[in-house]
């Protein structure tokens, strides 16, 4: 009996020992897991604590700072060399490809439609009583300067419009390769022709200022739209009210066009990118507006009004044209008593009539 009791006790000790060893091993394996449990619990607490706050991604914060133009370090010298991304570029692209192209293109189409409607409704404005006698209106220098500025402006307009609207209009017609070849030609032509154009344009504006000051009778001309409203032809001097308004549009629009173009033509002078982007918008907008009003000028000066083109080609106009469209200037040249006191012919301009 005693031997059996001893055997049972020894078996019990062995069981206890085995259980103890097993528990120890399990605890040794489980204790490290408590770190993960604590970490997950802490993370869950942190996430719940920040639930009311906006989650912040460190990478997003970094690129947000980059897009805001925060300067870093760069070994490249130059203005804004340390700025990796300037967010104004995206704003410029959206403005150029959005409102600028839409409203600018719409304006050109509207002007062309208005010209077509006017021509279909009223036709060409003919000389009512041709006299058969000519009188000098434009000097040779005036005509040469006008055609020089006009031809260079048309070339600049064509190349500029093709660069602005080329992706939408020319690629479907020419293909990508054809448009690329054209753009490689149009860009340098537009750049290199701009300086000769500026010289001639600035000279024309300065020399023609004395002819284009508005007088009281010019407002009556504008009110009647040059005779479209009413029966009688409104009075006009050497330049009528419409031509004077066109001149001042050219003057102020041309200043914006030339100044903005200067910034774009010489980017290496240290301008900031924001200045270049603003200059491009101003240059494109002023160019589109000047092209639109020039379309009306080209129409009226070519097929819209009889006698205008003849005067700018030969320098002389029919006396009937002068009486009909520029009666005050005609009276002034002829020395009639009804001539206005304020002269509108340029200093040194010939006032002699030829027969």
Burial status of residue 184 (CB atoms within 10 A of its CB: 0-12, 13-18, 19 or more) = exposed
Q: What is the pLDDT of residue 342?
A: 45
> Average pLDDT for residues 326-347, to the nearest whole number?
66
Give the fold, CATH level 3, of 88-334.
Fumarate Reductase Cytochrome B subunit (1.20.950)
Q: What is the pLDDT of residue 69?
A: 58
- pLDDT grade for 347, boundaries at 50, 70 and 90: very low
- pLDDT grade for 251, boundaries at 50, 70 and 90: very high
Q: What is the pLDDT of residue 93?
A: 84
Q: What is the pLDDT of residue 91?
A: 82
- pLDDT grade for 42, boundaries at 50, 70 and 90: low
Residues 6+ apart with CB under 8 A from 279: 260, 261, 263, 264, 271
- pLDDT grade for 352, boundaries at 50, 70 and 90: very low
* 3-state SS, one letter per residue, for the chain: CHHHHHHHHHHHHHHHHHHHHHHHHHHHHHCCHHHHHHHHHHHHHHHHHCCCCCCCCHHHHHHHHHHECCCCCCCCCCCCCCCCCECHHHHHHHHHHHHHHHHHHHHHHHHHHHHHHHHHHHCCECCCCCCCCEEECCCHHHHHHHHHHHHHHHHHHHHHHHHHHHHHHCHHHHHHHHHHHHHHHHHHHHHHHHHHHHHHHHHHHHHHHHHHCCCHHHHHHHHCHHHCCCCCCCCCCCCCHHHHHHHHHHHHHHHHHHHHHHHHHCHHHCCCHHHHHHHHHHHHHHHHHHHHHHHHHHHHHHHHECCHHHHHHHCEEEHHHHHHHCHHHHHHHHCCCCCCCCCCCCCCCCCCECC
Q: What is the pLDDT of residue 157?
A: 95
Q: What span, in angstroms and rounded, lies between the C-alpha atoms of 256 and 251?
A: 9
Q: What is the pLDDT of residue 95?
A: 86
Q: Is the pLDDT of residue 264 over 80?
A: yes
Question: Pick the residue with more confidence: 74 or 207?
Answer: 207
Q: Is the pLDDT of residue 284 over 70?
A: yes
Domain boundaries, the chain: 2-48, 88-334
What would the pLDDT profile of 178-198 be if each residue is shown by its tens digit?
888 898 999 999 999 999 999
Is the CA virtual torsion 341, 342, 346, 347 positive or negative? positive
> Average pLDDT for residues 29-34, to the nearest whole number?
55
Q: What span, in angstroms and rounded, lies between the C-alpha atoms of 157 and 154?
A: 5
- pLDDT grade for 177, boundaries at 50, 70 and 90: confident
pTM of the model: 0.73
> Average pLDDT for residues 301-323, to the nearest whole number?
91
Q: What is the pLDDT of residue 78?
A: 60
> Average pLDDT for residues 250-269, to the nearest whole number?
91
């Amino acid at each position: 009996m005693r031997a059996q009791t001893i055997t049972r006790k020894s078996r019990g000790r062995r069981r206890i020992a085995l259980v103890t060893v097993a528990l120890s091993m399990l605890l040794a394996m489980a204790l490290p897991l408590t770190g993960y449990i604590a970490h997950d619990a802490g993370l869950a607490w942190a996430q719940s604590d920040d639930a009311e706050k906006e989650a912040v991604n460190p990478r997003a914060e970094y690129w947000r700072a980059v897009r805001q133009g925060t300067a870093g370090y760069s070994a490249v010298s130059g203005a804004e060399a340390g700025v990796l991304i300037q967010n104004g570029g995206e704003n410029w692209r959206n403005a150029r490809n959005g409102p600028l192209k839409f409203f600018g293109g719409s304006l050109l189409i509207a002007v062309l439609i208005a010209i077509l409607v006017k021509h279909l409704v009223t036709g060409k404005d003919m000389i009512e009583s041709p006299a058969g006698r000519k009188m000098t209106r434009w000097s040779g220098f005036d005509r040469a300067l006008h055609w020089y500025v006009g031809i260079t402006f048309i070339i600049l307009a064509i190349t500029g419009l093709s660069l602005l609207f080329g992706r939408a209009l020319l690629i479907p017609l020419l293909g990508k390769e054809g448009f690329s070849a054209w753009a490689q030609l149009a860009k340098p032509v537009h750049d290199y022709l701009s300086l000769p154009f500026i010289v001639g344009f600035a000279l024309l504006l300065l020399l023609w200022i004395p002819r284009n000051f508005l007088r009281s009778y010019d407002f009556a001309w504008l009110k009647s739209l040059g005779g479209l409203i009413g029966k009688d032809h409104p009075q006009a001097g050497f330049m009528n009210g419409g031509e004077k308004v066109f001149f001042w549009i050219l003057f102020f629009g041309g200043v914006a066009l030339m100044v903005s173009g200067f910034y774009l033509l010489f980017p290496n002078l240290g301008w900031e990118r924001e200045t270049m982007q603003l200059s491009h918008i101003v240059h494109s907008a002023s160019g589109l507006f000047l092209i639109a009003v020039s379309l009306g000028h080209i129409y009226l000066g070519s097929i819209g009004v009889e006698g205008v083109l003849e005067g700018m080609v030969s320098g002389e106009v029919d006396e009937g044209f002068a009486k009909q469209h520029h009666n005050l200037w005609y009276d002034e040249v002829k020395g009639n008593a009804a001539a206005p006191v304020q002269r509108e012919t340029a200093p040194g301009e010939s006032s002699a009539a030829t027969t």
